[in-house]
Amino acid sequence: MKQNPTRTHLYEQVARIGKALSSSKRLEIIELLAQGEQTVDVLAQRCGINIRLASAHLRALREARLVDSSREGKFIRYRLSGPDIAQLWLTLRGTAEEHLVELRVALEQMATQPDALLSESRESLLAKARSGELVVIDVRPGDEFAAGHLPHARSMPLEELEQRIADLPPGKEIVAYCRGPFCLMSDEAVRLLRARGFSASKISDGVTEWSTNGMPLDR
């Protein structure tokens, strides 16, 4: 049967998205950009790659129209081209978790560590944070917190946490969060807090998971 060139073209256009997402580092960049706009040097540093490679990944994402950019003085700032791109990442990650046993095992191992996930609903967590019953800390870098964070959360970047532990009220449950279930900064924060005698746990939500489930964000 003769292949219809128009039909082939349609599939090829959709395949551009798949090709752009076929790199683990590009997925990591998308997750980082879901936290807020960032420059290439910041993305490179947070992904643990050099600027040239980060630029190449951003170029591939831009060609697929997944990422936009704008100039701010001497710097170019990158952002997701729409909120649907963050949702696409969550859908892809959820599909992988549903079908890849290796991913499920890795996530289950993370959940059984001493810094286990807090067993609270989002609504309950929000109510307790509002009333002061517990303290929510955002251990991401400060620029990501400024772009959007959970209501009533305090910005305590992981690299500053040890020096700022005295700012936390003793005797209160401390709940840490970072960029989502693949992010390990909240695990490190919980280990540090518990070593200093605090009752601490974490949630797997980042701002993307939180807002996608209909919960409010502060900016």
Which of 161, 155, 133 is closest to 207 using CA atoms?
155
Both 72 and 167 in one domain: the answer is no
Each residue of 119-160: pLDDT tens digit? 779 999 999 999 999 999 999 999 999 999 999 999 999 999
Which of 205, 178, 179, 180 is closest to 189 using CA atoms?
178
Q: What is the spatial distance between Cα 86 and Cα 84, in angstroms, rounded to a whole number?
A: 5
Q: Would residue 58 count as lying in a domain?
A: yes
pLDDT band at 109 (very low <50, low <70, confident <90, very high): confident
Both 117 and 208 in one domain: the answer is yes
Residue where a domain terminates, one of 40, 55, 86:
86
Structural domain containing residue 195: 108-212
Mean pLDDT of all residues in 169-186: 94
Helical H segments across the chain, by residue range? 5-20, 24-33, 40-47, 51-63, 83-99, 101-111, 122-131, 142-147, 158-164, 185-195, 207-212
- How many domains, in total, are found in the chain? 2
Both 125 and 199 in one domain: the answer is yes
Q: Would residue 117 count as lying in a domain?
A: yes
Q: What is the spatial distance between Cα 69 and Cα 50, in angstroms, rounded to a whole number?
A: 19
Residue where a domain terminates, one of 86, 117, 150:
86
Tokens, residue 190? 């919980």
Q: Would residue 93 count as lying in a domain?
A: no
Which of 118, 105, 103 is closest to 187 using CA atoms?
118
pLDDT of residue 4: 79
Residue 183 CB coordination number (10 Å): 18
pLDDT band at 184 (very low <50, low <70, confident <90, very high): very high
Q: What is the spatial distance between Cα 136 and Cα 189, in angstroms, rounded to a whole number?
A: 12
Residues recognised as catalytic: 178
pTM comes to 0.90
Both 63 and 32 in one domain: the answer is yes
Each residue of 44-74: pLDDT tens digit? 999 999 999 999 999 999 999 999 999 988 8
pLDDT at position 1 over 70: no
